[in-house]
Amino acid sequence: MDWFKKYDEIAAELDLSRASDRAATILLDNLIEDSSVERLSVLLEDKRVIVFGAGPSLGDAVSYVKEKSLHDRYVFVVADGAVSAFLEAEVLPDVLVTDLDGRLRDILEANLRGSLTVVHAHGDNIALLENVVPRLSGVVGSTQVKPVGRVHNFGGFTDGDRCVFLAVYFKAREILLAGMDFDSDVGKYSRSSDSERKRKKLLIAKNLIEELTEETDIPIKALDIT
């Protein structure tokens, strides 16, 4: 996948500011002091991974993986607001991928307790980057434009599909998807106030994951919780 061509298409559709995304990327690079990208590689390479989105089915998925003790065999990678469901269930995710749009106290708590936190920079979260990143440790930075220093472009646009791109980038063995309800209403753990724009982003995420699934040899499929 030509990510930068794909980003140009998304930016045109959603009227994104490339200059603002670039400014956020440079800011995040300046804020990160102790990047943990090597630790991220160790966590994901050749591992079985479950990616959790913040869709309406998330609660059932978290209950299922806890009941079946799947954390013993899988690395849990969660998208932004999904971390709240995990903390409520007293399960600590291994990796949290966030643009800081979720419940901040839960993002901070998960990071403090050891979840490796991948913070994404874009033009709409510059103030959050300035406020939150200095309070986090072991951050890996990500961007959707050209990478700078300690900020990487792993691919992906929303936190949910970015989790999948991340697992593919670091050559996971298998990727299962949970709480990724692209065709349903916005879930309670997704804190978007603009539901129409959120649905557009969910469709973009769905298309990106479908295209990535076709391109990679890594098996990507839905987690069966029935």
3-222 CATH, one of 3.40.50, 3.30.750, 3.30.1490, 3.90.1480: 3.90.1480
Q: What percent of the chain has pLDDT over 90?
A: 88
Q: How many CB atoms lie within 10 A of CB 74?
A: 21
In 3D space, the residue among 154, 151, 155 whose CA is nearest the CA of residue 140 turns out to be: 151
- Is residue 28's pLDDT more than 90? yes
pLDDT of residue 212: 98
pLDDT of residue 132: 98
Rounded Cα distance, 190 and 21, in Å: 22
CA 56 to chain CA centroid, Å, is 17
pLDDT of residue 185: 64
Backbone angles phi, psi at 84, to 5 degrees: -65, -40
Q: Which amino acid is at 22?
A: R
pLDDT tens digits, one per residue of 161-189? 999 999 999 999 999 999 998 876 665 66
Task: Tell me the whole-structure pTM to 2 decimals.
Answer: 0.94
Domain boundaries, the chain: 3-222
Rounded Cα distance, 22 and 122, in Å: 7
Please say whether the beta carbons of 220 and 212 come within 8 A: yes
pLDDT tens digits, one per residue of 183-211? 766 656 666 556 788 889 999 999 999 99
Rounded Cα distance, 17 and 5, in Å: 15
Rounded Cα distance, 81 and 100, in Å: 9
State the pLDDT confidence band at 226, using cuts at 50, 70 and 90: confident
Please say whether the beta carbons of 225 and 61 come within 8 A: yes
3-state secondary structure the chain: CCHHHHHHHHHHHHCCCHHHHHHHHHHHHHHCCCCCHHHHHHHHCCCEEEEECCCCCHHHHHHHHHHCCHHHCCEEEEECCHHHHHHHCCCCCCEEEECCCCCHHHHHHHHHHCCEEEEEECCCCHHHHHHHHHHCCCCEEEECCCCECCEECCCCCCHHHHHHHHHHHCCCCEEEEECCCCCCCCCCCCCCCCHHHHHHHHHHHHHHHHHHHHHCCCCEEECCCC
Please say whether the beta carbons of 161 and 208 come within 8 A: yes
Q: How many CB atoms lie within 10 A of CB 211?
A: 13
Rounded Cα distance, 181 and 183, in Å: 6
